[in-house]
Each structure stands twice: as C-alpha cells, then as structure tokens.
Amino acid sequence: MSELNISSELLQVSAEVQQALKNNQPVVALESTIISHGMPFPENAQTALEVEETIRRQGAVPATIAIIHGVMKVGLSREEIELLGREGHNVAKVSRRDLPFVVAAGLNGATTVASTMIIAAMAGIKVFATGGIGGVHRGAEHTFDISADLQELANTNVTVVCAGAKSILDLGLTTEYLETFGVPLIGYQTSALPAFFCRTSPFDVSIRLNSAKEIAKAMAVKWQSGLNGGMVVANPIPEAFAMPEEKINAAINRAVKEAERAGRGGESEYAVPAGPRRGS
C-alpha cells in the first residue's frame, strides 16, 4: 500500500491498515517513542493499546509505527507493542538521521514525530496524532538545539494533531521557525497556542479553525496545489486535565536554572514526557 515503490523487506503495512487505506477509511498514525521512552512497563503498552481502541471507537483505524527487527512497520501487533514496552530504553530512539542505520542493522526502533511522519507518508497516511511536537529549545540562539520535527513538518505531507509544542521549549521561537518554513499552525477551536500540559500560552496560532471539515479542506487544497509540507493542528488538552500555566512555567524555570548551575544543557537535559493523557 506504500505510495512509494519500497520493498516489503523494508516497509510492512498491517492487513488492517492496508484494508482501511484501500477502502479510503480514516487512518491515524501513532508514534512509538512514547511506548519505549515515555512510561514504565506495563503502563506504556497498556496506554498504547487503549489509545488504539479509542481511535477505533471513533470510527478510524490506528496505525502505530515502529521499526521491528529492521523493518519499518505501519500497524503493530499487540506483541510488538508489548515488546517495545518491555525493552524500554534499550530500544533505539529513531529520528530521520537514524532511520537508515537502525533498519540496516536489523534493530528495533521507536519512532519520533519526525520519523513517524516519514514512514506514515511512505504508507500514504495523512494524519498523525501525538502528545506534543518538538521545537526550538531555550537558549537555541547559542546551542542551535532545534528538534528535527520542525524540518520534517516543513517537508513531509502529513498533518500532526497534538496538544501544541512541549512546555519546556521556547514557544515563541518555535512559532517563528514554523512561520519561516511555511508550516500552518492551526488552532482547533482556539486562537492561543496550547502548551502541552497547558491549554494556552502567550503565543497565537497562525489560524483558528473550528471543525474537522475545515481542516480537511485546507489539507486537500494545500497538497493538491503542490504546497508540500505538513500542518500542525493544535488541540488543547481537556480542561479537566490541564495544569495552570504559571505552575508549569515556575517548575520549568527552576529546572532550567538547576541545569545551568550544573553546567548541563541540550535536549536530553530538558526532556518532558510526551505521552497521551487521559481524556486527550
């Protein structure tokens, strides 16, 4: 079912996902880094399976994406999800840079936002749901620490639905970066950019749309016009599970100051769990 002529030795799409794509049913891609790196076992595997079932109940087909024994897989079995959960941090975290090497070595790999977009596009999947995208890190004017997710959004024709960018990031620079590369930042029923745990931030989205139909029409026009690249649909976390913006910012500022005092920096120092939340 791949849109590209890729060998089945490299890319395998599950029967469920193949059938859905053939019948033009809605398919939602899911990343796998949250399974291996975001939560402990068995909660990680259980959460991933619950997310899949939530998608099915809404009438769509889930397509969790990962690399299993050197094969890019679109649509995982329960056993494969549990394998990623059990192995945890022993599983390679795979972005665009790492993808060919993990596949060539026959390893297991958990996909980030960037690599999930790549493999979803190979399979012809246009929508991907995740907790939050990566972005421009605080202090990036000195470190150039910018997530590969942003360049993937600039180049790959997949719409990423999320709760905004991760709270630890420099949200202002992240929105500027997306604007520079022509990536639409859509607020779903919101004009303010959500910030992962928080429903709002001081920054605006590029456009507010209030229905899935409006978003789907914009996707179709964008890609039919030859305007390559993805879109971000920022859907705020439900109010019942949101945290106050001032509380999150205070915690982040403390963590950043502690890291600076210890002489540390970079993505690994400021990691924030990015998994699905109840009610999201």
Q: Which residue in 31, 80, 82, 152 is the catalytic one?
A: 31
The reply to whether 213 belongs to the active site is no
Residues making up the annotated binding site are: 93, 113, 145, 147-149
**CA-to-CA dists, residue 233 to 50, 82, 146, 158, angstroms:** 22, 29, 20, 11
Q: Give Cα 192 distance to the centre of its chain.
A: 20
The question of whether 217 is a catalytic residue gets the answer: no
Q: Which residues are annotated as a binding site for Mn(2+)?
A: 145
Binding residues for substrate: 93, 113, 147-149
Which secondary structure element, helix H or strand E, spans residue 63, and what is its range?
strand 61-68
**Burial code of 243-256, b = ≥16 C-beta within 10 A, e = fewer?**
eebeebeeebeeeb
CA geometry: angle at 59 spanning 56 and 60, to 5°? 65
Tokens 């493999």, located at residue = 119
Evaluate whether 271 touches 132 at the Cβ level (below 8 Å): no
Q: Tell me how far apart the alpha carbons of residues 77 and 85 are, in angstroms, rounded to a whole number.
A: 13
Catalytic annotation, pick one of 73, 126, 166, 222:
166
Positions marked catalytic? 31, 166
